[in-house]
Structure 1
Amino acid sequence: MNPPILTQKLLDHLQQARQHAEVKGREILACYSSPWDDWEPISAFSTAGQGYAHAFFWAFNDPQLALVGLGQAAELVPQPGQGLVSLQQAWREMLGDALIVGPEKPHLLGGLAFDRQAAVSPLWSSFAYGALVLPEILLIGRRQGSALLLSTRVSARTDCNALCERLLAAVRELASTTRQGPAPTSERNNLLSRCDSLPADCWKAKVADAVDAIGQGRMEKVVLARQVDFEAEQDFSLEATLRYLRQANDSTYLFAIRRGEHCFLGATPERLVRLEGRELYTTALAGSTPRGHGPDEDLYNGNRLLDSAKDRHEHALVVNALKSSLEAHVETLQVPAMPSLHKLPHIQHLQTLVRGRVRPDVDLLTLVDALHPTPAVGGVDKEHAIAYIRDQEGLNRGWYAAPVGWLNSDGNGEFAVALRSALIHGRQAHLFAGCGIVEGSDPEHEYQETCVKLRTMISALMPEPTVDGCGERSVEQHTEVVAGCGT
């Protein structure tokens, strides 16, 4: 990148935006993009992002995409209990007068709360009901190359020279940090305490109650989650955690959203929805079993999952609900007749990849609203299951199991379901895992399944040498319990 050329082009762009603002009598969104040299996404987020109140990280390998957003040029916030149509409209209005120069499109980045009718707990106060942020600085990495996108609001009174210099100073600082390699391996962060949101027996009793409610016909499925809180000797390293997650989970969506002093991050296997033009992609993911200790046991576990009547029933509920939710929004929908296996380091799932073509007037946030919460994280039927979760789970999920992702000015974008995740604040980490409860669910089996799911984040936060065929210690060995704090 040639700084003098960038300086003049950016300044010309800002001055043109100020002229537009004078004519319109209101602020104008100005976006400027240009190619960017090779960069390292995790360094950009964890190092450069420290200087910003808001930072966003996203990485996925198929198609290859990395996004790092820093700062905030604008923010769209949903209202409690309201749909996302208003956010889509506000995004269109913001773009209506926007002055966009360069090859890249402005992006909104962020997420939403799982239940926007529930009160926000103090734990999630920085995240509230959700936020879609237009970052001031966005780095975009694709297989074919990288780009830098600057976004800012310009009014008739903006000092364009000062604004240009401030943005360029941020770019220079960014350039000094984004080309760093992996950080040196740090010493293991020792665990001081662990405390479950509910003792194991109490959580299993809730599962049994849910099975009874299903037997009474109140719903067909409900997902119940657990929260496990950890405290360590030192602050958890966001960079080390993300690097571990990326290395161990190359077929997942890797995300991190920092708001103030809190960061919500994870490696989720579940796509909620992707939209490219009018092509829709979504995934049904339900039914789980652990990986095996070696190829033979792994194959046996996978085949047993494929043959499990209980898991196939749970999976079919998700597939049927996806079809029902999308019916009013698509012209065509392709749904495979049989699920496949999606294998992750600690667990394998039944998976059905769904593809369709949306109607011309359908946008991405409409699809997010229609699909969330899927039966994989909520239940069937949706309204009764969510009401049951709200009344009986005893947990404020915040952004856990909720949509996180991005949306650009062309209407394209992708949201994933925030699973295998943790909320981190200094030395505190709050981990979440849940299971789908259907007729015939066994409370002990469901509890053990949550332990397997928790392993993804426990291993990333407190990695240690391998000791078994799965490449990790058991969750019990990872998480020794302080007296009086659960099991």
Structure 2
Amino acid sequence: MTLPLPQSDPALVVRSTRIQDPGDLVSLIPDDAEAPVSWLRDGDGFVGWGTAAAIQTHGTARFDDAERWWSGVVRDAVVRSEVDLPGAGLIAVGSFAFAAASPAGGVLHVPETVVGRHHDVCWLTTVGTAAHLPTTPALAAGSGADAPVIADVRDGALSDNQWTEAVGAAVERIQSGALDKVVMARDVVVTSSTDIDPRHILRNLSGAYPNTWTYSVDGLIGATPEMLVRRQKGLVTSRVLAGTIRRTGDDEHDLALAASLARSSKDLEEHEYAVRSVADALSPHCSSMNVPESPFVLHLPNVMHLATDVAGVLHEDVSSLTLAASLHPSAAVCGTPTLAARDLIAELEQMDRGRYAGPVGWLDATGDGEWGIALRCGALESPSQIRLFAGCGIVAGSEPAAELSESDAKLVPMRQALGCGS
């Protein structure tokens, strides 16, 4: 699923107006919506549909080409906004491939209609051109999204046994001193006998995982717990997750597991590599930074992660997209050293990650925005087929069977959202 590459877009006319709270945002996406998008957390964020402008980019220049195109869109646009809040006014939603060689490339997409909420303030943004001025749509809940009828769930590039063998080979490579850490991912292909409605997945994800960022752009749908970078009025933040343990559902036992995770030398080592890679990438752009010495344990419904929030003050005017590009790929999704890990991923995973583990999010006309890492997600390959992804950080002390179990836990959100397992 790709969006068209425009050769010369007319100047956009953008209008954001304050509205009464419309209720559940996902339900507002029309039944026949073209190119639905979303970015939601704890009920706040936005949904959108329609395509006012879009660009597809490829290769090593995928971020730079998108940034250059966006600068032109912003320069020529006429924007009238009653709301000065994150996500209001002119925005573009985007996602980018993990690897430069991936044909998935990158996309920035300006929706024709956006409905947003920030705390108690709600707004409607419409986008058109001088020749086709934006009109105000009637907002109403759609007829609802039916659950897909799952027909088949199968291994992707590698079977369980093949993947654990690949993890074992990665551990051997690490123990030989070739690298410190590598993130190994696997895929699962789900086929439905009916069309898969993105709204059904979004509703289930946002309901079950409200503390994550639930996203949809260009057929990539998921709920990420990891904020790659947020830029807002000169401040930059990044939430780093690395080190994972599966929850049991027994609160007392889970507290004990959380304590063991916080003491695990294997997980702390993995986490340290990820934090260091983010801090090193942000440092050149910041006049000051705060990097906590120790992580905290982030509790999600299905897993717990070691987490660290890195923050800084920007000393230069770089957009959130440029910051996301400078951070990608972090050790949390690639490894350390980056080039050695990237090469080992290409050798052992035997699949194209597409936009899994790449930046996904949005930016506005000022360059502010939020970019998560595309985790806990699936990529629609056809109206009735979706490919799910999960990855694990591998270090010298990793055990392949335990990593397979961790990857299964990370597949739970999407499998539950589709109705094909737990």
TM-score, normalised to structure 2's length? 0.90
Are residue 56 (structure 1) and residue 37 (structure 2) matched? yes
Q: Which runs of 5+ in 2 are unaligned?
A: 1-8, 83-87
Is residue 197–residue 229 contact of structure 1 (8 Å, CA) maintained in 2?
A: no
Are residue 322 (structure 1) and residue 275 (structure 2) matched? no
Is residue 105–residue 410 contact of structure 1 (8 Å, CA) maintained in 2?
A: no
What is the CA deviation profile of residues 203-224 of structure 1, one whole-angstrom value per residue up to 9, with x for unaligned ones? 1111111111112222111111
Moved more, 397-406 or 454-463: 454-463
Return the structure number with greater helix share.
1
Distance 1:28 1:253 in 2: 31
The percentage of counterpart residues that share the same residue type is 30
Q: Which residue of 2 aligns with 1:105?
A: 89
After the TM superposition, which residues 78-477 of structure 1 pair with which residues of structure 2 at under 5 Å, given as runs? 78-82=57-61, 84-103=63-82, 104-116=88-100, 118-120=101-103, 128-154=104-130, 158=131, 163-164=132-133, 167-168=134-135, 171-172=136-137, 174-175=138-139, 177=140, 179=141, 183=144, 189-257=149-217, 259=218, 263-424=219-380, 425-462=382-419
Closer, same or farther: CA 96–238 of 1 in aligned 2, 3 Å: closer
Distance 1:423 1:309 in 2: 34
Question: What letter corresponds to residue 379 of structure 1 in structure 2?
Answer: G
Q: Which runs of 5+ in 1 are unaligned?
A: 1-25, 121-127, 464-477, 480-487
- The structure that has the greater radius of gyration is 1
Tell me the matched-pair count.
Answer: 407
Shift of 1:111: 0.9
Counterpart selection for 2:53 from 74, 84, 88: 74
Distance 2:170 2:147 in 1: 43
Closer, same or farther: CA 198–331 of 1 in aligned 2, 3 Å: same
Shift of 1:97: 3.1
Q: Which residue of 2 aligns with 1:28?
A: 11
Q: Which residue of 2 aligns with 1:38?
A: 21
Shift of 1:329: 1.0
Alpha carbon RMSD of aligned pairs, Å? 2.1
Please give the secondary structure, in 1, of the residue aligned with 2:57. Answer: coil
Distance 1:302 1:388 in 2: 31
Is residue 135–residue 151 contact of structure 1 (8 Å, CA) maintained in 2?
A: yes
Question: What letter corresponds to residue 25 of structure 2 in structure 1?
Answer: P
Question: What letter corresponds to residue 78 of structure 1 in structure 2?
Answer: T
Shift of 1:72: 1.8
What is the CA deviation profile of residues 394-428 of structure 1, one whole-angstrom value per residue up to 9, with x for unaligned ones? 01111111111010012110001111111233332
Closer, same or farther: CA 237–150 of 1 in aligned 2, 3 Å: closer
Is residue 277–residue 411 contact of structure 1 (8 Å, CA) maintained in 2?
A: no
Question: What letter corresponds to residue 151 of structure 1 in structure 2?
Answer: V
Is residue 62–residue 105 contact of structure 2 (8 Å, CA) maintained in 1?
A: no
Shift of 1:320: 1.1
Shift of 1:152: 2.3
Question: What letter corresponds to residue 274 of structure 2 in structure 1?
Answer: V
Question: What letter corresponds to residue 277 of structure 1 in structure 2?
Answer: K
Please give the secondary structure, in 1, of the residue aligned with 2:60. Answer: coil
